[in-house]
Amino acid sequence: MGGCLSGTYRSGDGSCVNCPSICISCTGAKLCTECIPGYDLVSGVCQKWCTDSNCFDCSSNSDYCKECYAGYEASDGKCVEDLTCNNSTK
């Protein structure tokens, strides 16, 4: 049995299935190996490239952040330092 074409992967039943639309190539339905332009590959997942380096997930408008990395919080679409834990003790 031959290999699948670029942009597809072999499913459990042996058929070739299209990769998610944001993947150029993949090894499964949820595991990309290369992303389309504007997306970064992070642990097998294509994530929208955001203009804010502290932003984890941005809307289709890459300037509006929906979720920030740890230590930051989203405020009006921008990531700002999360100061809520600075006064606590571990």
Q: Can you name the residues that pair with 35 across neighbouring β-strands?
A: 23
Q: Can you name the residues that pair with 34 across neighbouring β-strands?
A: 25
Per the confidence metrics, is the pTM higher than 0.95? no
Query: What would the pLDDT profile of 16-37 be if each residue is shown by its tens digit?
Result: 999 999 999 999 998 999 998 8
Structural tokens at position 82 = 């999360």
Query: What would the pLDDT profile of 35-77 be if each residue is shown by its tens digit?
Result: 988 788 888 988 877 888 888 887 766 788 888 889 999 999 8
Give CA separation, 70 vs 14, 79, 84, in Å: 40, 10, 12
**Residues 6 or more apart in contact with residue 81 via CB below 8 angstroms:** 71, 72
